[in-house]
């Protein structure tokens, strides 16, 4: 039983980690291409955009457009805060959180629909 | 009603007469001897800064050696022109009215701006009014991202966050206004062998609240070292008309009334002045908060914003680059 669970879980975890790495890579490439003019330098995934001064308010607008079109999400005004967007890793966590919330909403909607159909 | 600047902190109290003397002798030396020009052209908007510069130039050079320019356009408030005329009357100075709307129409300023607004508000068209705004500094710690506010002909207001294309398009188009005015100022400066006076105060100059090669361009800038509240103190000392002293600072650039606070500074200028002073004099956020009645959180955010705007202003201040 335990062995079977591992067989199901490990590939899922690997896929999740792979997805996260790809996401970090994509966001990082966008930041480097758009704000560092393709010069990677020493930017780490944890570096604060505000402290390093690489993104100004117009840059945030461009970043939001990129995230909304790449990950098919809608960033609300309330979500436009440094906790969500101030580094490559914060952006990735934010996107994961948005995607997970969106999946949960879709699942709840589908459950509700099937309950209504049964009723 | 108290004039603006009356509530400013003692930190920014000015010896108005001494400062007037200092500035006027600097203007004389700069215009006549350094620049070797016969007088000064001043674009008068009806606001406090250009009015003070006009009064200072009149005192420094003589009212017969200044030319005041009024340059309204289709979106300007008619009140601005009335206030500008008050300055000319008070100084008994020569003035010229140049309506720049036809030049702006020729450059397609309005069409380009409206096209950009339609990227986010498709129904925007004739009869609509607009402005762009920033959230307040304490607005839940959000980034300073512009939104456009539009008013439909039936009065309905809508606020929409701008996309990068819409934002850049609106700003690029409206910047025609400041650059056209500067072009006209230099026309008269060439015609009369005058110098062009710039009118930014310290807040605007330091924080980049100007258009590069637009209102940012000038031959001399006599109040760029003064905080906004100090400009008000000088205005009261110089006898600038009361109506101008009491007018809230406005950009007069968009068809809807727009304060400088919602367009750029995100804080009332009295607080911005104090925060800029505190930051530049090494006063900690907690000390300034205690002395001023602002919260420490607000001062801290203002300190960060000042730094961020200075980074953006670096490009605006940069002259043309050349190889050594």
ipTM: 0.79
Least confident of B131-135, B264-268, B275-279: B264-268
The predicted structure's pLDDT at residue B90: 98
Query: Which residue reads 């000015």 in tokens?
Result: B14
Please classify residue B223 by burial: count the beta carbons closer than 10 Å to its beta carbon, then call 0-12 exposed, 13-18 middle and 19+ buried. Answer: buried
Other CB atoms within 10 Å distance of the CB of residue B240: 24
Q: Is the pLDDT of residue B140 over 90?
A: no
| Mean pLDDT rounded to a whole number for chain B | 92
Task: Please check the confidence at residue A1 and state whether its pLDDT lies above 70.
Answer: no
- What does the pLDDT average to over B184-207? 97
Could B142 and A50 be called an inter-chain contact, meaning their C-beta atoms sit closer than 8 Å?
no
pLDDT of residue A111: 78
Give residue A85's pLDDT.
Answer: 95
Q: Are A80 and B163 inside 8 Å of each other by CB?
A: no
Whether the full predicted model's pTM is greater than 0.95, yes or no, is no
Q: Which of B164-168, B209-213, B269-273 has the lowest mean pLDDT?
A: B269-273
CATH number of B10-105+170-317: 3.40.50.620
Of B140, B163, B167, the CB nearest to A81: B140
User: What are the start-end ranges of the E strands in chain A?
Assistant: none
What average pLDDT does this structure show over A47-60? 88
B143 → closest Cβ in A60, A62, A65: A60
Q: How far is B164 from chain A (nearest CA, A)?
A: 5
Nearest CB neighbour to B164, from listed A62, A80, A82: A62
List of residues 6+ apart from B211 with CB closer than 8 A: B175, B178, B179
B272-295 tens-digit pLDDT: 999 999 999 999 999 999 988 899
* Positive or negative: CA dihedral A34, A36, A37, A39: negative
Q: Give B163's contacts in chain A (Cβ within 8 Å).
A: 61, 65
Q: Which domain holds residue A93?
A: 2-118
Which residue blocks in A36-56 are alpha helix, DSSP H? 49-52
- Once rounded to an integer, what is the mean pLDDT over residues B297-304? 90
CATH number for the domain including A102? Answer: 1.10.1200.10
Given an 8 Å threshold on Cβ–Cβ distance, is A57 in contact with B164? no
Per the model's pLDDT, the better-predicted residue between A17 and A90 turns out to be A90
Q: What average pLDDT does this structure show over B125-137? A: 87
CB within 8 Å of chain A, chain B residues 297-316: 304, 308, 311-312
Q: Which of B240, B250, B200 is nearest to B223 (CA)?
A: B200
Percent of chain A with pLDDT over 90: 50
Beta partners for residue B160, in sequence order: B148
The alpha helices in chain B, defined as continuous H runs, are 16-28, 48-61, 78-91, 101-106, 109-118, 164-192, 202-207, 228-238, 242-245, 260, 269-280, 285-292, 296-317
pLDDT > 70: percent of chain B:
94
Q: Which residue in B198, B204, B180, B202 sits closest to B260, CA to CA?
A: B204
Option in A57, A64, A78 nearest B144 (CB): A57
For B171-199, what is the mean pLDDT?
A: 98
Structural domain count of chain A? 1
- Report pLDDT for B9: 63
B233 close to B5: Cβ distance less than 8 angstroms: yes
CA-angle at B280, arms to B278 and B283, nearest 5°: 40
Per-residue DSSP letters for B107-157? TTHHHHHHHHHHTT-TT--TT-EEEEE---TTSTT-----EEEEE-TT--E
């Amino acid at each position: 039983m335990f062995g079977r669970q591992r067989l199901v879980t490990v590939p899922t975890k690997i896929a999740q980690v792979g997805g996260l790495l790809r996401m970090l890579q994509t966001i990082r490439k966008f930041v480097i291409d758009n704000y560092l003019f393709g010069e990677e330098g020493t930017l780490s995934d944890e570096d604060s955009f505000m402290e390093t001064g690489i993104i100004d308010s117009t840059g945030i607008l461009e970043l939001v457009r990129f995230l909304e079109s790449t990950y098919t999400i809608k960033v609300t005004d309330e979500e436009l805060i440094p906790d969500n967007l101030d580094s490559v890793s914060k952006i990735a966590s934010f996107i994961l959180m948005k995607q997970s919330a969106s999946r949960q909403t879709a699942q709840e909607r589908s459950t509700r629909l099937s309950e209504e159909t049964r009723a | 009603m108290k004039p603006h600047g009356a509530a400013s902190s003692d930190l920014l109290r000015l010896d108005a007469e001494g400062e007037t003397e200092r500035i006027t002798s600097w203007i004389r030396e700069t215009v006549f001897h350094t620049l070797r020009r016969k007088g000064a052209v001043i674009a008068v908007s009806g606001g406090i800064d250009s009015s003070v510069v006009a009064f200072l130039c009149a005192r420094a050079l003589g009212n017969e050696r200044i030319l005041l320019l009024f340059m309204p356009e289709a979106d300007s408030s008619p009140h601005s022109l009335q206030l500008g005329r008050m300055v000319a009357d008070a100084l008994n100075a020569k003035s010229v009215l140049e309506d720049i709307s036809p030049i702006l129409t020729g450059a397609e300023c309005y069409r380009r701006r409206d096209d950009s607004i339609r990227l986010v508000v498709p129904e925007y068209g004739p009869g609509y009014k607009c402005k762009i705004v920033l959230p307040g500094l304490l607005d839940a710690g959000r980034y300073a991202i512009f939104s456009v506010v539009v008013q439909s002909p039936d009065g309905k207001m809508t606020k929409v966050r701008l996309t990068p294309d819409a934002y850049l398009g609106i700003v690029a188009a409206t910047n025609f206004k400041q650059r056209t005015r500067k072009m006209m100022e230099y026309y008269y400066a060439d015609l009369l062998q005058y110098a062009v006076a710039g009118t930014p105060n310290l807040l605007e100059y330091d924080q980049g609240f100007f258009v590069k090669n637009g209102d940012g361009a000038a031959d001399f800038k006599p109040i760029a070292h003064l905080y906004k509240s100090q400009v008000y103190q000088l205005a009261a000392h110089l006898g600038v008309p009361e109506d101008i002293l009491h007018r809230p600072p406005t950009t007069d650039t968009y068809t809807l009334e727009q304060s400088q606070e919602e367009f750029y500074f995100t804080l009332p200028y009295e607080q911005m002045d104090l925060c800029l002073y505190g930051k530049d004099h090494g006063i900690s956020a907690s000390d300034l908060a205690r002395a001023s009645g602002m919260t420490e959180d607000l001062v801290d955010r203002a300190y960060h914003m000042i730094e961020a705007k200075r980074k953006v202003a670096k490009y605006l201040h940069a002259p043309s680059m050349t190889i050594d």
